[in-house]
């Protein structure tokens, strides 16, 4: 199972959360960034329905798979 860490950081004149090198929007306060990170981290853990997916690879071959809606990462907010 994947593990995502939401790290609270100063960013662009305010505060943001960073996950795997990607930044959220900038918040005016650290508390607002923490609250947003907690909401986002909680949303990552919510499962859904299994879904059929299809995609074409770089060789032009199509693949058809079922994505497990219960395969959700664990999350953590480091403030």
DSSP conformation letters of 41-79: HHHHT-----EEEEEE-TTS-EEEEEE-TT---EEEEE-
SS3 assignment, position 31: helix
* Confidence (pLDDT) at 47: 85
Sketch the domain layout of the chain as residue ranges. 3-78
**Tens digits of per-residue pLDDT, 30-55?**
999 999 999 999 998 888 889 899 99
What percent of the chain is predicted at pLDDT more than 70?
100
Q: What is the pTM of this model?
A: 0.74
* pLDDT, average across residues 17-41: 97
């Amino acid at each position: 199972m994947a593990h995502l860490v939401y790290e609270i950081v100063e960013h662009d004149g305010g505060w943001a959360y960073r996950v795997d090198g990607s930044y959220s929007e900038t918040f005016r306060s650290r508390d607002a960034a923490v609250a947003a990170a907690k909401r986002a981290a909680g949303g990552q853990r919510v499962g859904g329905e299994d879904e059929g997916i299809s995609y074409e690879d770089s060789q032009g071959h199509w693949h058809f798979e079922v994505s497990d809606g219960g395969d959700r990462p664990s999350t953590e907010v480091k403030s």
